[in-house]
Amino acid sequence: MTPLSFEWKWIADYFIFMGLLYLALAIVVCGLAFVYIRTWLDLHRAEKGETPAPEIPARLKYTQY
């Protein structure tokens, strides 16, 4: 339902509801775009041969447990 749709009414309730709906959709889209871009950058950084992360020290003690 948008201002261009047939059933739109210029009432404050519609502005509040649709404003919050579009705000929630914008937050989800921005979050997904952020995650996609970070993943893409991390993949390209890994392809360049960047040094891997050091081993977690606690994992070295697995044989003791």
Give per-residue pLDDT as tens, 6-42: 676 778 887 888 889 899 999 999 999 999 999 998 8
Q: What are phi and psi of 36, to 5 degrees?
A: -60, -45
pTM: predicted TM-score of the whole model, two decimal places: 0.56
| Residue 14: count of CB within 10 angstroms of its CB | 14
Going from the C-alpha of 53 to that of each of 2, 3, 21, 32, 42, the distances in angstroms are: 49, 52, 41, 25, 13
Which pLDDT band, with edges at 50, 70 and 90, does 43 fall under?
Answer: confident
Which pair of structure tokens corresponds to residue 1?
């339902």
